Amino acid sequence: MANWKGPLEKIDDTRLRIPKSYNPKMRVDGIIYADASLLADIKQDQAPEQVANVATLPGIVGQSMAMPDIHWGYGFPIGGVAAFETGEGVVSPGGVGYDINCGVRLLRTKLTKADLKLALLEKLVKAMFNNVPSGVGSKGKIRISQTEVAQVLTHGARWAVEHGYGTDDDLEYTEEHGQMAGADLSGVSSRAFERGMPQLGTLGAGNHFLEIQEVAEVFDANAARDLGISLGQITVMIHTGSRGLGYQICDDNVKTLGAVSQKYGIELVDRQLACAPIESPEGRKYFGAMVCAANYAWANRQAIAHWVREAFAQVLGMTAEQLGMSQVYDVAHNIAKFEQHMVGKERVRLCVHRKGATRSFGPGDQATPARYRHLGQPVLIPGDMGTSSYLMLGTATAERDTFGSACHGAGRVWSRTRALRETEHRNVAQELRAKGIVVMAASKEVLREEVPDSYKDVDKVVDVCQRAGIARKVARMRPLGVVKG
């Protein structure tokens, strides 16, 4: 893919502007959060053009934005954030992505690095690998009928807890309590139901992972304490989404909404921006189906968290309660949501699309669990198998400048095809082992596709968010053991 040659005007050390004069069809400016160290990576594909394309959609307010982990996506860039007013604005499957509610869950433990000698770490990684089905097309241990799938799509993580997977405490520390309102089963095709039946409780492949981590650095001791985090502590991170069901819901709607856009006289500069007015029957139907997939993803991570706890209990001979395996938080990073935000001097109801972006609400917001409300919403930033992950907090600045959004990870710089080509003669598992990281994967190919070289430097991405004030660092976790699909 050719390098992007368009304008990127420097606003300050962490923001670049694509002026709306770049394309007469742009309704607002494009803003990319990045500094000079990330500029070359950002320009290497056409993701900035996608930022400009999103700015042409009806009803967009503020700016079309991208986080520092921006890279090429379907329609919207990955890392894209855009908000639309509910009168003339639109909802777009490309602004959510194919893996609806791909997200991250973080568990704390009472263990420290000193408790996990290499042999024990290897046993834990193997137990997680065996307990949680992973890989392309993997099928789960939960066998449910189409009727039960419908219940999952409506009740989300609540369904999982009621069926013995986890506790009410988990729901308290999950975005939307793991059950987003507005699910509409009428927008879910029979094929989506079929794909959802065998895959609940599965990790999948690609960049999804289970990771045993050590808290390697604490940036804010008071906030870390209130979040139950301390230096040297062992944490577990779960990164996955809505599996084949979410993919099918997106695919079905991308196909149908292309014609719908024409029906409502919406001119698309890119057919991948297929959309419908938010208040149209077709727009409401897609949104309701997207909610169903989001709820499935929360139930999926809930079941996986339960089996991760079981793996620790099996290996260590202690209960999950004795091990202190409680949940820090769970966040979505591919989702559209109706939220209230300030536009000028008015508080307005908007449909905020976050595609590869994490909600980052500041202190005091009622959507944040009461225990954390004085801090801000936890923001979880996963690394890329061999690099650090971060626990951050949302800010008032994010609410003002980015509709309460921050980055979601490092962001790819190599395609999976290029990663396979570049690593043809490398043993990625051995490379990670040399760094003290135990890894198990469903295939060697997925390790090569997800090699850390494939991603931007997550430390730089997080640093841009910190300096821009849209999230603040609390702790950095480094990987010790990884399960890849």
- In this structure, the dihedral spanned by the alpha carbons of residues 323, 324, 327 and 328, taken in order and rounded to 10 degrees, is -120
Mean pLDDT estimate for the chain: 96
Average pLDDT over residues 443-451: 90
Angle, CA 327 vertex, CA 409 and CA 169 arms, to 5°: 135
For the chain, percent of residues with pLDDT exceeding 90: 91
pLDDT at 485 over 90: no
* 63 in any annotated domain: yes
Euclidean distance between CA atoms 45 and 73, whole angstroms: 10
* 260 in any annotated domain: yes
pLDDT attached to residue 289? 98
pLDDT band at 419 (very low <50, low <70, confident <90, very high): very high
CB contact at 8 A, 407 and 456: no
Average pLDDT over residues 360-388: 96
pLDDT at 385 over 90: no
Most confident range, picked from 129-133, 207-211, 287-291: 287-291
* 2 in any annotated domain: no
Euclidean distance between CA atoms 90 and 54, whole angstroms: 11
pLDDT attached to residue 329? 98
Angle between helices 281-316 and 243-263 (to 10 degrees): 170
pLDDT band at 144 (very low <50, low <70, confident <90, very high): very high
Active site residues: 408
pLDDT at 119 over 80: yes
CB-based burial, 445-473: b 16+ in 10 Å, e otherwise: bbbbbbbbbbbbbbebbbbbbbebbbbbb
Euclidean distance between CA atoms 420 and 445, whole angstroms: 7
For 181-229, the pLDDT digits (tens) are 999 999 999 999 999 999 999 998 888 999 999 999 999 999 999 999 9
CB contact at 8 A, 40 and 24: no
pLDDT band at 370 (very low <50, low <70, confident <90, very high): very high
* 417 in any annotated domain: yes
pLDDT at 1 over 80: no
Euclidean distance between CA atoms 150 and 153, whole angstroms: 5
pLDDT at 85 over 70: yes
pLDDT band at 69 (very low <50, low <70, confident <90, very high): very high
Euclidean distance between CA atoms 94 and 286, whole angstroms: 12
pTM over 0.95: yes
pLDDT at 386 over 90: no
Output the CA–CA distances (angstroms, integers) from residue 444 to 425, 440, 448, 456, in the order listed. Answer: 12, 9, 7, 22
The number of domains in the chain is 1
DSSP 308-343: HHHHHHHHHTS-TTTTT--EEEEEESEEEEEEEEEE
pLDDT attached to residue 137? 76
Q: Integer distance in angstroms from the first to the last C-alpha of the chain?
A: 28
* 4 in any annotated domain: no
Structure-block tokens of residue 418: 């290029």
Average pLDDT over residues 426-441: 93
CB contact at 8 A, 365 and 392: no
Q: Whole domain around residue 107: which residue ranges?
A: 9-484
Please give the DSSP secondary-structure letter assigned to residue 64. Answer: E
* 322 in any annotated domain: yes
Phi, psi of 342 (to 5 degrees): -80, 125
Average pLDDT over residues 126-155: 90
Output the CA–CA distances (angstroms, integers) from residue 215 to 24, 104, 111, in the order listed. Answer: 49, 17, 11
pLDDT attached to residue 3? 86
Burial class (CB in 10 A: 0-12, 13-18, 19+), 271: exposed
pLDDT at 318 over 80: yes
Please give the DSSP secondary-structure letter assigned to residue 54. Answer: H
* 3 in any annotated domain: no
DSSP 334-346: EEEEEEEEEETTE
The CATH number given to whatever domain includes residue 372 is: 3.90.1860.10
pLDDT at 465 over 80: yes
* 1 in any annotated domain: no
